[in-house]
Structure 1
């Protein structure tokens, strides 16, 4: 039996308690500074008010001021914060992780810099580790919703890190007959893939909100959504190459895109934009929810524009991303640039 401490009681970290607990490990779930109400509810009856699932009885719950107790004697730390908690985790948690204990993250997103560079969170953390730190950082990505994982739906994800032997040991803690895990040392590729899909899920979901794409029977046509999905995969694949990931990781981007378009906050933002709502109206409608899709779409578009201005890439290769950016940040209305998706290719043979 191992002891696993999950810091951040968001939906995905909390869903991971299911395979961990069922594999016989001691599970400690720590709330972030914003999670007191979640922990209070879990302590009362094991019900997670945001995940809307009852966790296994026997999991240990801690508030953030008890985090050092929760870390004592653990064998693995899981970072379960949203992208808005990346710096908090870096400053408050990483310095107190016991020496020799690895960390694995479910946080999705990227940092963008003025020169157009995009950096995945594991690299961002590694560059800022305390002096002499030997912390090993791993990460999780792939098409897996927290509620479906909690319900034991078959889920297939990727775990990434530099040390594949250690990563295999970490996989053994989580893997079950319903939670399936592949391993890769392509940290940039996997993490960029699952970050990008949030912004592109928003773009793909535009078709869901467009009323004129419904037939006389009121049923939405699917060709337009499929076309946006297709364009999203194309643009994500190009971006993976730009940031230094391998093309093999596009499978995780595509799978995660499909899952996210099926439901969730990223879909909601895209659907509401398609319906004609402004970002102000959408923000009010989704008050209290973290809109990570808006952040990653904006950051990625900013990076693309910066790289294009420097002559490194051709911005016209990313028409969907740049249209989404205008919707989010310039107040434009949906006018999908279908003709810009058209290309002419020649077989290299």
Structure 2
């Protein structure tokens, strides 16, 4: 079977390693921390990040050079802020052609690049067209327990997408393909913003009505920005859009939801991030999406409100009041122009 390196031994990287091991592949799980690699190999668990038994065919490495030796595929699951450093090092060390699949959901503040674009810029022998993205509604906790999960893989290179589909698909982890790489990446990244909002809503004590409003109007924002960047509006009605929104906005499994919940209860951002102990991608993505929306003159009131809470120290209740008192409008005003443009 295929030798695969998974870069990033957090909850999602560990869960994807379990899927690959279940499919009979030889998996090398890389972490930059020696003590974590040694603990995984000795105990066959990674309880700091994921409560699941790790199959013996998963071997943990802290040497990136050894982890990628003779592999056919490299799965990148490190946080967005680490993508450039890891890919730059990976580019120096690779000695054989591999398929690059990334499962990181985020946008880089400042450059406003998607993860596939960052990989393309850091890896001289790998083109953007050949990178594969994996995204969809998938809590690592449930994937690690082999509970039914569906995701989407996308690449401009259809052969690479099909390879990734075959690599991961099994009876509990169903994989679809898509040719809308822009939409798949943006859906996976931008939903984290709305998940933060859903958590804040819960922390404020609001109920299902507010949650439904956030998910629905959040989807409209995601679609507006995504379509302006070249995505198909239909992508946001699929797994990486509506599906990922539902799973991250309705469950305490979501670290973005949990972070938002603490913010809604009155904690400051620095306190929340320290307490979480894991990367909360929605924070960085909110900053990037706010920049994108301003640059492209796209109206994103929920994103703007969250930006004000995260970076301008605005009180969540004040932001909710501001959102609820916006000018009257027709619901379809936000959507009709994009549909008319594409269909």
Q: Deviations over 1:279-335 (max 9, x none)?
A: 23323433x321211110112112223x2xxxx425xx2111111000000111012
Provide the residue aligned with 1:253 in structure 2: 241
> Contact 1:235–1:318 (CA<8 Å) still a contact in 2?
yes
2:262 corresponds to which of 269, 272, 282: 272
Provide the residue aligned with 1:44 in structure 2: 42
CA-CA distance at 1:227 after TM superposition: 0.9
- Corresponding residue SS for 2:27: strand
Provide the residue aligned with 1:226 in structure 2: 212
> Contact 2:13–2:77 (CA<8 Å) still a contact in 1?
yes
2:176 corresponds to which of 166, 182, 185: 182
CA-CA distance at 1:16 after TM superposition: 1.2
> Contact 2:169–2:175 (CA<8 Å) still a contact in 1?
yes
Provide the residue aligned with 1:328 in structure 2: 310
- TM-score calculated relative to the size of structure 1: 0.87
Provide the residue aligned with 1:167 in structure 2: 161
> Contact 2:109–2:287 (CA<8 Å) still a contact in 1?
no
CA-CA distance at 1:106 after TM superposition: 1.0
1:79 corresponds to which of 76, 83, 92: 76
Greater helix fraction, Structure 1 or Structure 2: 2
Deviation larger for 179-188 or 274-283: 274-283
CA-CA distance at 1:150 after TM superposition: 0.9
> Contact 1:113–1:303 (CA<8 Å) still a contact in 2?
no
What do you get for the CA RMSD once the two structures are aligned? 2.1
- Corresponding residue SS for 1:16: helix
Larger radius of gyration, structure 1 or 2? 1
CA-CA distance at 1:268 after TM superposition: 1.6
Q: Judging changes above 3 Å, is the alpha-carbon distance between structure 1 residues 134 and 235 closer, same or farther for their aligned structure 2 residues? A: closer
> Contact 1:266–1:293 (CA<8 Å) still a contact in 2?
yes
- Corresponding residue SS for 1:109: coil
Distance 1:45 1:147 in 2: 18
> Contact 2:65–2:93 (CA<8 Å) still a contact in 1?
yes
2:192 corresponds to which of 177, 187, 198: 198
CA-CA distance at 1:134 after TM superposition: 5.9
Provide the residue aligned with 1:293 in structure 2: 282
Q: Is residue 229 of structure 2 the alignment partner of residue 243 of structure 1?
A: yes
- Corresponding residue SS for 2:108: strand
Provide the residue aligned with 1:151 in structure 2: 145
- Corresponding residue SS for 1:205: helix
Provide the residue aligned with 1:27 in structure 2: 27
- Corresponding residue SS for 1:285: helix
Q: How many residues align?
A: 325
> Contact 2:41–2:60 (CA<8 Å) still a contact in 1?
yes
1:91 corresponds to which of 64, 69, 88: 88
Provide the residue aligned with 1:313 in structure 2: 297
> Contact 2:195–2:256 (CA<8 Å) still a contact in 1?
yes
Provide the residue aligned with 1:343 in structure 2: 329
- Corresponding residue SS for 1:47: coil
Unaligned runs of 5+ in 2: none
Provide the residue aligned with 1:141 in structure 2: 135
Q: Deviations over 1:14-67 (max 9, x none)?
A: 111222112211111111x2x33321221111011211211112322211x2x2
- TM-score calculated relative to the size of structure 2: 0.88
